[in-house]
Amino acid sequence: MSPPLRFLLVCLAGAAGTGARFLVTTGLLRWLGPAFPSGTLTVNLVGSLLLGVIMELALHGAVGPDTRVVLAAGVMGGFTTYSSFNYEALGYLQRGAWALFAGYLAATVLGCLAMGALGVAGARWLLAG
C-alpha cells in the first residue's frame, strides 16, 4: 500500500473510531447518567482489549502490517488513546522493565493531570484577560 493511501485510510479509520467513541460515551451517559464517567471508562477498557488483540494477531502474522496500522493507529487511535498507553506500559511489564513501567505510568498519570490543570488555568487566564 502506498504511503498516501495508508495515510488516507488511517484518517478515515480514525474518524470511524471517533464516531464510535462518541456513540458509546453519549449512549452510556444517557443510559447511566453523569454521576460516573462510564462512557470514558468503557472506551478505555474496550480500546485496550481490542488493541491488545490487534497487536497480538499482527505479531503472529494473522493481521498484515497495513491492516494493523489502519486498525491500531486509525480506529483505536480515534476510539481511545489510552489503549496505546496501556499496550506500551504492558510491554514494559512483559519485558520486566519495572523502572520504565513505573516511570511511564507516573509520568503519564501525573503529567496528564498537571497538563490538564495547566490548560484549565491557561484558558481561565485567557478568559479573564
Residue list for the binding site: 77, 80
Distance CA 49, CA 91 (A): 14
Count H helices, E strands: the chain?
A: 6, 0
Binding site per annotation, positions for Na(+)? 77, 80
- Give the DSSP H/E element, type plus range, for residue 45: helix 38-59
